[in-house]
Each structure stands twice: as C-alpha cells, then as structure tokens.
Amino acid sequence: MEKQMLIFLSGGVRSGKSSLAEQVAIRHKHPEGRLVYVACGSRTDEEMEERIAFHQERRANSGYEWKTVEQSVDISTIHAGANDSVLIDCLTTLLAGEYFRKDKPPSEAGTRIVDGVLDLVKRTSAVIAVSNELSFEVPSTNLTADYMKILGQIHQMIVKESNTAILVEHGIPIVKKGAVQCTES
C-alpha cells in the first residue's frame, strides 16, 4: 500500500492559503491521477458567487485540469480514485454545512468531518485540507464559542494525523510540521 498523505493548511482571510493549497496539490499530483477540488461553501449570495468565480478563474489558469465537486456535507461520499489528489476548501465551510444540517446532531459535526477526511486520506493519493484561523477573539456568543471549539478540535485532530501542517501568513507558508518540497524535482 502506498504511503498516506494528508496536508493541512490554515490562515486568515485573504492570506493566500487557497492559492498555496492549489500549488501543493499540483506538486502532489499523481501522474495517473486527477486534481479534485472540493468546494464546501454554499452559494448563498452575490458576494459568495464573486469569491467562487475568483477561485475558479485561478484554477482555470493553473495549467492543470481540475475536477470541481460541490460538497458541504458528507465529505467522504465524493467520487475520488486511488490516484487522485483531493483539495478540500475549506474545513470552516464544511463545519457550517455539518453543524447546521437538520438530519444529524451538531455535537457530532466535528467527528463526522474528521472521520470523513481520514476516510478520503485512506482511499486517495493525497488530501490537502484548507481551513481558517479564527481563534484569537474575546469569547462571544455561545453559538460562536461552540463553533470555534469544534473547529479547534477538528484542527487539532487533523494536524495530529497530518504529514505536513502549514500556517499561511500574508502569502508566506510557515511550516509547523513536516516539510514541503520547494524545488522542481
């Protein structure tokens, strides 16, 4: 069996994390596998449409073909093969999907996400999970605090299982765990 690969990237809004995650995914592309982009955000309004269009355009210009999948719950059910590299963008929006779905309890949203991601890691070539830094605030409402707590737990579990964990600040990757190959091989 081939080595499992899980890479975690986190950063603030507009920190360059999605762009970097795409480059990391391309670098881990299997010669016989596809690049699968999983968009977890819901198309809620015009602003979100613009953000989506911005990301779509960049992927279209990346020189590689991306298969885009929209999935905001049940991440492990996406179609991905053993050679595919899967970019999950992002855990925050995935948590919103799992947290507010009507048919399953929000208290288990974190476990559902971590289990789903680890299932994908087992059956694909590489998983790149993107998320948002949002844990330096004065604690606010109970709902926000609960959401942050679950997101923090997800991050801790994903970082623990990851081969590489990267914090992106102002477009600069800070490697917290593992290593990243920078030069052309």
Partner 1 sequence: MHFVTGGSFNGKKQWVKDFYNLDVTPHQWHSFYEKEQIPFFKEDIVVLEGMERHVRILLEKAETSLEANALFKKELSSWKKEERTIVLIGTDIMKGIVPMNAFDRMWRDAAGWCFQDAAAFSERVDTIWYGIAQTIKEE
Q: Is the four-CA dihedral 16, 21, 24, 29 of positive or negative sign?
A: negative
Binding of partner 1 by 133 (CB under 8 A) = yes
Among 13, 138, 179, 182, binds partner 1 (CB under 8 A): 138
Comparing CB distances to partner 1, the nearer of 122 and 176 is 176
| AA identity, residue 63 | G
Residue 174 token pair: 């800070």
Of residues 58, 135, 169, 171, which one binds partner 1 by CB under 8 A?
Answer: 135
Calpha distance 106→94 (Å, rounded): 12
Q: Do residues 55 and 18 lie in contact, with contact meaning Cβ atoms separated by under 8 Å?
A: yes
Residue 162 and residue 177 in contact, taking contact as beta carbons nearer than 8 Å: yes
Indicate the SS3 state at residue 176: strand
Q: Which of 156, 169, 171, 181 binds partner 1 (CB under 8 A)?
A: 156
The verdict on 177 binding partner 1 (CB under 8 A) reads yes
Exactly one of 137, 141, 182, 183 binds partner 1 (CB under 8 A); which one?
Answer: 137
Tell me the helices (H) and strands (E) count for the chain, helix number first: 5, 7
Longest dimension (CA), the chain: 49
- Which residue number, 26 or 148, has a Cβ lying nearer to partner 1? 148
Member of 155, 164, 168, 173 binding partner 1 (CB under 8 A): 155
CB of 164 to partner 1, least distance (A): 12
Residues 10-49 binding partner 1 (CB under 8 A) are 10
Residues that bind partner 1 (CB under 8 A): 10, 133, 135-139, 148-149, 151-153, 155-156, 158-160, 165, 167, 176-177
